[in-house]
Amino acid sequence: MNTTKTTNQQSNKNQPAPCLFSRLLMKKILFFVVLSFATISTLSAQQQKLSVKGYNYMVDEKSTDLESFRSLVKDNPDALEMFNTGRTMSITGMVIGSIGGFCVGADLGTRVGGGKGNVGLLIDGGVAIGLGAAVGLPGEAKMRKAVELYNDTKLAWDIKLKWNGILLSCNF
């Protein structure tokens, strides 16, 4: 009977301390993980936010030129393609509308100056203005949508501490 007790005591001496080592290790690992995700969260929060206001291209509410703006948007090929298409549509609409405005202005200027106006030129100018608006306004909306697509597709980490654990969320 004594031999079984001694064998059990010897086997217990060979085992490590029950929980002290593993608890300290788990606390260190948890601290490292939380610190790492907090750093990632801070870095991802510092990403640049793009916006378009008319033909002003903004990066973090500061105006920039078109090439700098495009170099940022090129990280997202879908947003870049949509932005370029929208910009082309907007410029095309502006050119067509400007030609229409010139036609209307020339006709009205002739009439105000006492001459006989050309009704066909007036109607053609009005149609060109309408066509320019019909092409240009959707182009500007497409540029804004491309910028929203770029801003929404950035990777974002968020860490929340709750009473019963840690919540880690990643938005991409």
The tens digit of pLDDT for each residue in 55-88 reads 778 887 788 888 888 888 887 888 889 999 999 9
Query: How many CB atoms sit inside 10 A of residue 144's CB?
Result: 16
Q: Per residue of the chain (172 residues), give pLDDT as tens.
A: 555 555 555 555 555 555 555 766 777 777 767 666 666 655 554 457 777 776 778 887 788 888 888 888 887 888 889 999 999 999 999 999 999 999 999 999 999 998 898 999 999 999 999 999 999 999 999 998 988 888 876 555 566 776 677 666 655 5
Report d(CA 16, CA 154) in Å as an integer: 47
Residue located via tokens 């006492």: 114
Q: Which residues of 30-51 are buried (b: 16+ CB within 10 A; e: fewer)?
A: eeeeeeebeebbeeeeeeeebe
* 17: enclosing H helix or E strand: none
pTM above 0.85, yes or no: no
What is the token pair recorded at 113?
Answer: 């100056």
Report d(CA 83, CA 113) in Å as an integer: 44
